[in-house]
Structure 1
């Protein structure tokens, strides 16, 4: 009786310990499905690059009051009557046109930082769309490898039966098993690529430590309503084009400012050079600074003119690079559109027929294991080619959207 009671207590303690242990184990995190629009919105809100771009805009806005950059007053002491020192104050001023143009330059700088932010957001949209396209492609590739693995597993079982009844040799069984293990290896490699792509997605949306993110949606052909032209010289919606145009406006504003700065400055001051009874009017000083050192202003103006020329050249260079990238993306679009038309009308149907015919032929003994393997590999090679063509087609559309700023 005592022994049974002792055993009951031990079992009860063990059960309570097990329950407590289970309660301390963290629950498995549920997978979080993200659609493409949700991922883009999260990236535009949480990505550190956007936050840095916002801070740059805030910095330039904070500098707007500094456009009225007044030189500090000079406090001086002189003894005009040689009896005692009199305090004086001198205050130099630039002409109002200088302060007005300094304000314009700073406003152009604010707009430049805003267009720089647009460049960042356009690049982020491109990267999120690219990684989504890659994840969906890899997911379909895994499904394709699983179907192939299932067929090869069935093939390996049939081959083992034939080897036991003496129809085929052991080397043929080993070959079949080797083919299946190769597919398992490719399947594991593809799963590793998916994990890597999910990490990249988390970094883009500003959640680098979140391992629950999953791309939602089906892997299909992207629709794009904007007509494509083989030669499109208009990239007005591309933020990079806007950035270089704004940079030109900033350079031109700087040139105007340097031209205004070569004008004389005004000096106003106060100093009593007479006795205490001297009239107030004659205690004030008025004057101007003479820009006799002309080479200083000339060199700054020439440098500003060079900046304007550089900005204009950058616009032409950017247009040239965008046009080249657009032509390449458009050529890829046409190429993979033609490939998809082939796979959708002929290739995939042939792949299904090849698999069905190979399975029936091998079971009936009309073809050997070697021919069966060749046919299976050919069928899944066609399917994999279709998935790659679809991924490349979508990537071409994504690139065209990026270049057009959409």
Structure 2
């Protein structure tokens, strides 16, 4: 009795250690950790901080010029000159820098949206691979029974040795598929660990049922065209709109910079007792080199046109990706409807009928194998369709910025 209790204690202790070594993570938790702990988010935050640190530099005053002149030709008098741009220049420089901060913030939202997409994709793959393992194991258990029955029938002389070897080879091939699937699971776990900020973590385990993801469309999908409001929440749309505003602000700044600068200074050009007012200097720097300002303005106008073209191209690409994702969504939705209504029930009936028939001797070796393979091919087809359906939903969520 003591030995049995000791054995059970050891078993429960080993199971407890194994459970503690696993780290089960839900999909919302994985998304939250990826959008907070991933190094890409840290880099995006640093870029925002950098642009914010440059805001005080918008008031970029030129350094004063210390000069010495001898206006009376008897001694040198010290003086100082300070060139100053018009207040509108400094105002627009600050506006441009604030636009740079907003652009970096929009860039961060693109990063987080991409991270959500990648986490959902890998999580969906892990759920698919987990169900594939279950499908292979069930097939393996049937083939094991089949191999035992085959050996029994071979001993009584009902079948030849080649059929026994074929049965074992089928089971070995299935074990190979299991090993390959386990390797894929390990690779996906490592990728998920990288996304959530824990590199080389293979202890991650996903949880929850593998079922169709929910997606609420804004309207019917026919025809497969997205409206102009479909991508308002997509971070890329906001990024390119902000880039347009930044380009327009830079153009306005270049136009302000072509105006004259003000020069103020101090230098005593008379006797030591001359009045203070006449020691001051005032002047303007004349922008007579017009081609310099024109070239900068023309370049800024080109940047505005480029920014608008990029926005148009982005909308074009988003519409194309959205229409393809909608087509995939409807295609795999029809496939799931078929498998749920017809395919999966038929697969269960095929397995049951084939197992009973081979055990009773009403069907032969090859018929049994073909039927079992067909049944599990149907089940694998269902899992593939479910993964593709969920991937279409994930893509739609990504394109809509959800």
Q: List gaps (5 residues or longer) in structure 2.
A: 1-16
Specify the alignment match of 1:305 in structure 2: 301
Specify the alignment match of 1:166 in structure 2: 157
What are the equivalent positions in structure 2 for 1:306-345 lying under 5 Å apart? 306-345=302-341
Alignment match of 1:286 (pick from 272, 282, 292): 282
Specify the alignment match of 1:10 in structure 2: none
| Matching of residue 120 in structure 1 with residue 111 in structure 2 | yes
Give the Cα separation in 1 of the matches to 2:201 and 2:382: 32
- How far does residue 85 in structure 1 lie from its aligned partner after superposition? 1.0
Specify the alignment match of 1:12 in structure 2: none
What are the equivalent positions in structure 2 for 1:123-138 lying under 5 Å apart? 123-138=114-129
| Matching of residue 276 in structure 1 with residue 272 in structure 2 | yes
SS at match of 1:275: coil
SS at match of 2:67: strand
- How far does residue 277 in structure 1 lie from its aligned partner after superposition? 1.1
Give the Cα separation in 1 of the matches to 2:383 and 2:180: 17
What are the equivalent positions in structure 2 for 1:64-143 lying under 5 Å apart? 64-143=55-134
- How far does residue 65 in structure 1 lie from its aligned partner after superposition? 0.4
Give per-residue Cα distances to partners, 1:112-138, cap 9 Å, x unaligned.
Answer: 000000000000000000000000000
| Matching of residue 188 in structure 1 with residue 179 in structure 2 | yes
Give the Cα separation in 2 of the matches to 1:252 and 1:227: 33
- How far does residue 51 in structure 1 lie from its aligned partner after superposition? 0.3
Give the Cα separation in 2 of the matches to 1:227 and 1:254: 37
Specify the alignment match of 1:356 in structure 2: 352
- How far does residue 78 in structure 1 lie from its aligned partner after superposition? 0.8
Give per-residue Cα distances to partners, 1:18-39, cap 9 Å, x unaligned.
Answer: xxxxxxxxx7652111000000
SS at match of 1:267: strand
What are the equivalent positions in structure 2 for 1:56-71 lying under 5 Å apart? 56-71=47-62
Alignment match of 2:147 (pick from 156, 169, 177): 156
Give the Cα separation in 1 of the matches to 2:226 and 2:306: 24
Specify the alignment match of 2:372 in structure 1: 376
Give the Cα separation in 2 of the matches to 1:302 and 1:54: 33
Give the Cα separation in 2 of the matches to 1:338 and 1:371: 30
TM-score w.r.t. the length of structure 1 is 0.92
Alignment match of 1:249 (pick from 242, 245, 257): 245
SS at match of 1:224: coil
Give the Cα separation in 2 of the matches to 1:321 and 1:100: 36
**Is the CA contact 2:147–2:168 (under 8 Å) kept in the aligned structure 1?**
yes
SS at match of 2:79: strand
Alignment match of 2:225 (pick from 223, 231, 234): 231
- How far does residue 265 in structure 1 lie from its aligned partner after superposition? 0.2
- What is the aligned length? 380
Superposed CA RMSD: 0.9
Give the Cα separation in 2 of the matches to 1:197 and 1:59: 34
| Matching of residue 222 in structure 1 with residue 213 in structure 2 | yes
- How far does residue 209 in structure 1 lie from its aligned partner after superposition? 3.4
| Matching of residue 403 in structure 1 with residue 399 in structure 2 | yes
Alignment match of 1:41 (pick from 17, 26, 32): 32
Alignment match of 1:202 (pick from 190, 193, 197): 193
Specify the alignment match of 2:136 in structure 1: 145
Give per-residue Cα distances to partners, 1:80-118, cap 9 Å, x unaligned.
Answer: 111111110000000010001001101111100000000
SS at match of 1:287: strand
SS at match of 2:102: helix
Give the Cα separation in 2 of the matches to 1:63 and 1:232: 40
More deviation, 152-161/222-231: 222-231
Give per-residue Cα distances to partners, 1:264-293, cap 9 Å, x unaligned.
Answer: 000000001111111111101000000100
Specify the alignment match of 1:6 in structure 2: none
Specify the alignment match of 1:8 in structure 2: none
Give the Cα separation in 2 of the matches to 1:209 and 1:133: 20
Q: List gaps (5 residues or longer) in structure 1.
A: 1-26
Give the Cα separation in 1 of the matches to 2:309 and 2:373: 54
